[in-house]
Amino acid sequence: MMYFLILVVIVVLLIAWGVSIYNRLVKNRNMMEEAYSGMDVQLKKRHDLIPNLVNTVKGYATHEQETFEKVMEARSKAMSGINRDPGKAGKSAETQSELSSALGRLFAVAENYPELKADANFRELQHQLTAIEGDIEKSRRYYNATVRDNNIAIESFPSNIIAGMGGFQHGVFFEMEDPTNRELPEVNF
């Protein structure tokens, strides 16, 4: 009878331990999805601001049509690249990087027009975009931290056993960087 009671206690403890790990994995997954959703909100804010920015620049730089078209094309790609599935974050990050490059070209065009840079509407839109870019960076960092925590829990022993049985998936990091930013600059004296 004593051995049976000890066996029951051990089984109950193992089940409680498994449930605890499973619940932690569910929490990590939900935090990752919530973080991705928060980043999605910031990206949509940026997408909504871009047409106003392009139209403001168009008023001053009418012969830069190709640049405007590229920005709007990149915006469309980026909007279609947004996916509610954090597992597709890599594809979304790629389209967002293309949009960032196109915006960089748009601001380079704006540099050629001093009267545009002096326009209050343009400065306000530029300020809003800068603020949104900061919010996107914060959201991306938070999302990537939740992905890291999720992946560690899925790969660590013994939670990897429960993760495998529960069908938990690795998260994909959202990296929106231009690979050329990683190259070492050439320094000449």
Question: Considering the chain, what is the average pLDDT of its residues?
Answer: 83
Average pLDDT over residues 1-7: 91
Q: Which domains does the chain have, with CATH numbers?
A: 32-170 (1.20.1440.20)
pLDDT of residue 117 exceeding 80: no
pTM of this structure: 0.75
Average pLDDT over residues 167-176: 89
Q: Specify the higher pLDDT residue, 82 or 114.
A: 114
- pLDDT one-digit tens code per residue, 60-108: 776 677 777 888 888 888 887 665 566 666 667 788 888 888 888 788 7
Identify which of 22, 24, 2, 20 has the alpha carbon closest to the alpha carbon of residue 12. Answer: 20
Q: Sorting pLDDT into bands at 50, 70 and 90, what band is 180?
A: very low
Residues 6+ positions from 67 with CB-CB distance below 8 Å: 61, 102, 105, 106, 109
Residues 6+ positions from 174 with CB-CB distance below 8 Å: 36, 39, 89, 90, 92, 93, 140, 143, 144, 147
What is the CB neighbour count within 10 angstroms for residue 176? 19
Gyration radius from the chain CA atoms:
24
Helix, coil or strand: residue 153: helix
pLDDT of residue 186 exceeding 70: no
